[in-house]
Amino acid sequence: MAHQGFFQRQASARRNTGVLVILFLAAVTLITLCVCLVGYMVTRSESTGLAFADWLISRHGLYTALAVVGLIGAGSLIRWADLAGGGDRVAKMVGARPIAPDTGDADERKLRNIVEEMAIASGVSVPELYVMDHETGINAFVAGYTPGEAVMVVTHGALTQLSRDELQGVVGHEFSHVLNGDMRLNVRLIAILAGILMIGQIGAFLLRISFHRTALSARASRDRRGQAIFGLVGLALLVIGYVGVFFGRLIQSAVSRQREMLADASSVQFTRNPEGIAGALFKIGLKGGYLETTSHASDMNHMCFGESTRMKLSALLASHPPIQERIEAIQPGMFARLRSRLRDTEPGAALRSAGAPSPVPEAAAGFSAGSTGSTSPLASRSPQKLSDTVGTVNQRSEDYAVTLLNSLPSTFRNLLYTRAGAVQLCYALLLYQLPPRTQQQRLALVEAGSILAPNPELLGKLLPALASMGTGVRFPALELAMPALRKLDPDERSLLIAGTETLIRADNRLSLFELAMHTFLRRHLAADSARVVPVRYRSYRPVTAQLQVVFSLMARAGADDGRNREALFDEAMAGFTTGREKPELLTEVSVTRLRQALMTLNSLSPVLKPGIIDACGHCVLADGQVKTTEYELIRLVADQLDCPMPPLQA
């Protein structure tokens, strides 16, 4: 379960979107029929005693059905538009507060450190962090449409009551949702539930209006009779609304449960510490994770680490498997060990509230003892396919992330958390290897005002640090700066990209790093960066020309002389073309052409992308080593294909 495969999970998430639509249509149909039945009972005398089936196709029936479908659709569309802002909008909806990157709070710094380590180790941008200050329960969720604009929200209870290992387990679980495409599905589900629950909300409104008017009115009995009918219709719609609630919870449960188990397993694989996430789950079992201060707790239930709201029929309608079942799936016998450990420190009442253990067959467990280790794909002489590492965290990549973060000077690291510092980093990355005089000449070419103008004071702190740390820090530093860069206005983002283009063009040469950095910024700061790319191609045949562009670049990076480059290119293309086709190695690849090629290749079905990653890996690993520029290039290709690539051993 730990490695079902990133690409299979991505494809599964896309299929689940289709399942969601089918379940939504089924719920809408049933709710519409129920409302029509109420309408039939109210208007039956006016319709001269028609049978229900005949009434449905009469003018009354059709108008009623259209009104119901319209209301449900409007409810979903309004919430959908409201959530178009992505993860930030969801965080604000529940009243969460953004955590300042340079926060002085020890618990918040602990969370940021864990998240940054996980982001660098897994090859995704650092998500925005939020905390729900008034929630004492232990819970967390991620939201957004793409990994590049994800936000992570944790409760104050999770920050203060979990140890570092337990918090790391929760962060690993949430990163699994980021990597596997669950976030987009979860945000869409909020919008769908809003529509389904609309009828019940209207019923409750009508009922309140009816009681209010009855209390104020002392008019004729006919008036009171009309108000009574008004109230009965409201009551009927409220009851039907509970049908909608039932179906909404059923949809949440159907979509969410299996993916929660997968995320638990992935967390163990990422952290290699089953006790971390198991301990966090155990504390939720003892202390609860319900969200008490937001009216959206029920809407968010399927997104959260644990159940965020109390409900009846929890065995059927809960979005998460029972806590004990999740702990036993992580490692058989873990629940009993945690209980016995707690027995020494907690009173008996706390133990009883955690429930009694019931063994789970080992075959049903996500992990068995001793199976939580993970090795680097480049650690042995016979490496795995490079695509096997996509969407994972391994021991080597996590060690690298921890070492790198500890090696960053505190002044340098803190600058990356500010908008001004992040902008200057983009300039510094393109200049730090040049002589000081040339740096000044290049910076004079950048025409920008306010925060985007070159800042000598900040550059004076960034340039020496980059020069001393070496090339390996370039992409991780850019990723650490992405939360600050995403705070730029659309106009400021355009000016930043224009400024970096000016610096890149200044010497009429394009290095591999300049190519990688420029494409990375265009991808993550463009106006449509949060847009979900639909699948357009289910075979390689229509994208042969685009593969030719990418593999030409990879072959030129992976070999020093023309003959070896051509051989590498032919080997990379061999798995994607038939015998008759013979694409040739391109002598030059422009930024525009590469960007267009990668945009097209991102429209491939997820299950076709591993072949491209492995062919790129074949070119890069042909000489048995990975240069920093080669890693940056393959990382760029993976990033543009929405395939998070952990650091390679350079």
Beta pairing class for 140-143 and 151-155: antiparallel
Mean pLDDT of all residues in 281-303: 86
More confident residue, 299 or 491: 491
**How far apart are the two ends of the chain, measured CA to CA in Å?**
29
Quick check: 348 pLDDT over 50?
no
pLDDT at residue 312 is higher than 80: no
Three-state SS at 143: strand
Query: Phi first, then psi: what are they for 640, rounded to 5°?
Result: -70, -20
Percent of the chain with pLDDT over 70: 85
Q: How far apart are CA 277 and CA 261, in angstroms?
A: 12
Q: DSSP class of residue 7?
A: H
Per-residue b/e over 404-417, b at no fewer than 16 CB within 10 Å?
A: beeebeeebbebbb
Beta bridge partners of 142: 152
- Number of helices (H), then strands (E), in the chain: 28, 4
Residue 148 has pLDDT above 90, yes or no: no
Q: Which residues pair with 141 in a beta bridge?
A: 153
Per-residue CA distances from 649 to 26, 93, 377, 390, 590 (Å): 50, 42, 9, 15, 28
Q: Report pLDDT for 110.
A: 94
Distance CA 180, CA 7 (A): 8
| Residue 347 · residue 336 · CB < 8 Å | no
Confidence of residue 601 (pLDDT cuts 50, 70, 90): very high
Q: Residue 223: what pLDDT?
A: 56
**Rounded distance between C-alpha atoms, residue 589 and residue 594, angstroms:** 7
Residue 226 backbone dihedrals phi, psi, to 5 degrees: -65, -40
Two tokens at 563?
A: 């003959």
Question: Could you tell me which of 308, 306, 285, 288 has the C-alpha nearest to residue 298?
Answer: 308
Instruction: State residue 366's pLDDT score.
Output: 28
Q: CB of 485 within 8 A of CB of 497? A: no
Phi-psi region of 615 (alpha: psi -120 to 50; beta: other; left: phi over 0): alpha
Give the long-range contacts of residues 239-242, CB within 8 A, separation 24 or more. Answer: 239/203, 240/31, 240/34, 240/35, 240/38, 240/199, 240/200, 240/203, 241/197, 241/199, 241/200, 241/201, 241/202, 241/203, 241/204, 242/200
Task: Assess whether pLDDT exceeds 60 at residue 7.
Answer: yes
125 DSSP 8-state letter = P
> Does residue 374 have a pLDDT over 50?
no
pLDDT at site 631: 81
What average pLDDT does the structure give for the chain?
80
> Please, which contacts does 428-433 make with residues 24 or more away whose CB atoms are closer than 8 Å?
428/459, 428/462, 428/463, 428/466, 429/466, 429/474, 429/477, 429/478, 429/513, 429/517, 430/500, 430/503, 430/504, 430/514, 430/517, 431/459, 431/463, 431/503, 432/462, 432/463, 432/466, 432/467, 433/467
Mean pLDDT check: name the lowest of 28-42, 321-335, 588-602: 28-42
- State the average pLDDT over residues 431-460: 88
Task: Return d(Cα 84, Cα 163) in angstroms, integer.
Answer: 35
> What pLDDT shows up at residue 114?
94
Radius of gyration of the chain (CA): 28
Q: Is the pLDDT of residue 438 over 50?
A: yes
Rounded to 5 degrees, φ, ψ at 142 are: -115, 150
Q: Is the pLDDT of residue 326 over 60?
A: yes
DSSP state of 445: T
- The model's confidence at residue 530, banded by pLDDT at 50, 70 and 90, is low
According to the model, what pLDDT value does residue 152 have? 95
Q: Find the mean pLDDT for residues 318-325.
A: 85
553: closest CA among 542, 568, 540? 568
How far apart CA 603 and CA 606 sit, in angstroms, is 9
191-239: per-residue pLDDT in tens?
888 887 777 777 777 777 766 655 555 454 555 665 666 667 677 777 7
Q: Please report the pLDDT score of residue 355 as a whole number.
A: 41
Q: pLDDT class for 363, splitting at 50, 70, 90?
A: very low
pLDDT at 373: 35
Can you list the domains of the chain with their CATH numbers?
Answer: 18-84+193-251 (no CATH), 88-191+258-354 (3.30.2010.10), 386-392+532-640 (no CATH), 408-525 (no CATH)
For residue 472, the 8-state DSSP code is G
Q: How far apart are CA 34 and CA 11, in angstroms?
A: 35
How many other CB atoms are there within 10 angstroms of residue 62's CB atom? 13
Q: Are 217 and 227 in contact (CB under 8 A)?
A: yes
Go through the chain and tell me how many residues it has.
650
Pairing of strands 128-132, 151-155: parallel
Residue 520 predicted with pLDDT over 50: yes
Would the pLDDT of 356 be above 70? no
Is the CB of residue 119 less than 8 Å from the CB of residue 142?
no
Q: Quick one: CA dihedral 406, 407, 410, 416, positive or negative?
A: negative
pLDDT at res. 576: 86
Report phi then psi at 488, rounded to 5: -70, 145
Q: Which of 94-98, 308-312, 506-510 has the highest mean pLDDT?
A: 94-98
Under 8 Å between Cβ of 617 and 385:
yes
| 133: confidence class by pLDDT, cuts 50, 70, 90 | very high
Q: How far apart are CA 401 and CA 473, in angstroms?
A: 10
- Residue pLDDT, tens place only, 58-109: 888 888 889 888 888 888 888 888 888 788 888 998 999 999 877 889 999 9
Q: What is the mean pLDDT of residues 230-258?
A: 73
* pLDDT tens by residue, 565-577: 888 888 889 888 8
Q: Can you give the three-state secondary structure of 505-550, one letter per residue? A: HCCCCCCHHHHHHHHHHHHHHCCCCCCCCCCCECCCHHHHHHHHHH
- Catalytically active residues are 174
Alpha-carbon distances of 464 from 310, 508, 616, 641, rounded to whole Å: 55, 25, 33, 33
pLDDT score of 384 more than 80: no
